Amino acid sequence: MSGLKLFYFILFGQSISLLGSSLTGFALGVWVYQTSESVMEFTTILVASTLPGIVLGPFIGSWIDRLNRKALLVGAQSGSAVVIVALAVLYHFEMLHFWYIILLVALASVFATVLQVGFTSTVTLIVPTDDLNKANAALGIVLGLVQLAGPFLAGKALDTIGISTILLIDIVSFLFGLGTLIVASVPSIPKAVKEGTTTVWQEVKEGYLFLKSKPGVLGGLYLFTLIWFNVSAVQALITPLVLSYATPSEAGLIMSVAGVGALVGGALMMTWKGPERRMYGILGAALAIAVVLVLLPVYTNLMWIGGWAFLIMALAPVATVCSQTLWQRKVPVHFHGRAFSLRNTIMKAAQPAAFLSAGFLYQSVFEPLMTEGAVLANLFGPIWGIGEGRGIALLISLFGVLSIVMVLIAWGIPAIRLADTELPDENVNRGPAVT
């Protein structure tokens, strides 16, 4: 088994494992909030579940480039399973206290980062260059399905079978992911490429300097991180926006419609390889999403919101698949671990900052100033309306305008706009990799 068949086989096991992790992540968060009734504890666990992976990401990438890929993925999958077993045991003996959860989810974050970066950087070793778009689109579909089904199934499971059974299901799901990795013949970087005596610190620096030598790739990353900041801020605001005039079940319906859009976009990229000029696909989709963000919050109509949410999520796979394929083609395979982990660290670092900024701007600035008679209400009220939720609406549109400006800046920089044609492909069709 090789090529796309091998990729799909491994992806099947990982999709089962990801679904189990999604069930546990949602259920654990709800359980902590219900038992502690503390928003601070809930948000602290969210930070603990993401921050270690962000901080350690570049160093994890260096080890991924050094070590045998199969052993690394199997070890990370096993480590994730051990964390869930520990959670289940502590819960069973009524010892699952706050600080134990913090420690365990922090460990899980590290293992998850190893799995994510390790698997992503292995795709180029498994899949021929011409099939990278299909592989990346399939990965996007799986992530969309997990995002769509995980919270819904976890909510139902909490009401029926309880968190202890959810933890057991997650343990079983890890066995699927681990089993496919053990059975599969996972390629590693050819030994001739891996040889060297540099330290981890030196390799992280070397990876960054390599990306710096490709200004179109690194410059694009910085600009798209700013766009990701805007999109993340909108993610934090969209639910309060909908709940300002709709019921929780209607808000859930909007999320489901958006999830369907993600599946449609992923299916589109499975059948269509995307534009030959990858940067056109990235910039074009990003510009369209930014324009939609400006329009989406103007009207308080569920069909209006749902239609635009569907379109955003259908466009997102075009940008992400083109971006992933561009990086896989322009970055040499022996730099993939470091390059992809640096990319994840830079982009993900924008997310907590976006969440905090969005909350502060909404509560302290835009919502008060969009009440009747206030400054912003007088200026923008005729279009966005005034009153509850209209400050969020104006703020979301503003983030959309900022995103449009950033996309146009990226288009105006030749090194970014022409990155897919000016930079040489580092990974082309090749023979079997050394295992």
Q: How many CA atoms lie within 13 A of 252 on its CB side?
A: 8
- C-alpha span between 96 and 99 (Å, rounded): 9
**pLDDT at residue number 252:** 62
Residue carrying structure tokens 């079978």: 161
- C-alpha span between 286 and 89 (Å, rounded): 45
Q: What is the CA radius of gyration of the chain?
A: 22
Q: With contact defined as beta carbons under 8 Å apart, do 313 and 268 qualify?
A: no
- Tally of CB atoms within 10 A around 39: 9
Q: With contact defined as beta carbons under 8 Å apart, do 186 and 115 qualify?
A: no
Cα–Cα nearest to 57, from 348, 353, 355, 325: 348
Backbone conformation region of residue 290, classed left if phi is above 0, alpha if psi is from -120 to 50, else beta: alpha
**pLDDT at residue number 170:** 87
Cα–Cα nearest to 153, from 256, 246, 76, 78: 256
Residue 5 makes CB contacts below 8 A (sequence gap 6+) with: none
Domains annotated on the chain, with CATH: 1-188 (1.20.1250.20), 206-426 (1.20.1250.20)
**pLDDT at residue number 106:** 87
**pLDDT at residue number 294:** 92
- Tally of CB atoms within 10 A around 16: 20
CA distances 96 to 35, 36, 91, 92, 187, Å, are 11, 12, 5, 8, 39
**pLDDT at residue number 188:** 67
**pLDDT at residue number 291:** 94
- C-alpha span between 305 and 323 (Å, rounded): 27
**pLDDT at residue number 197:** 52
Q: With contact defined as beta carbons under 8 Å apart, do 65 and 203 qualify?
A: yes
Per-residue pLDDT of the chain (435 residues; tens, 9 = 90+): 667 888 888 888 888 888 888 788 777 777 776 777 665 676 677 677 777 877 777 777 777 777 788 888 888 889 988 998 998 898 888 888 888 888 988 888 888 888 877 887 778 778 887 777 778 778 777 776 776 676 667 767 777 888 888 888 888 988 888 888 888 887 766 554 444 556 667 777 777 777 777 777 777 788 778 887 887 777 767 777 777 777 756 766 777 777 788 888 888 887 776 788 888 888 898 899 999 999 988 888 888 988 998 898 888 888 888 887 888 788 777 777 777 777 877 877 777 777 777 777 877 888 888 888 888 888 888 888 888 888 888 988 998 999 899 899 989 988 888 888 877 777 554 444 444
pTM over 0.75: no
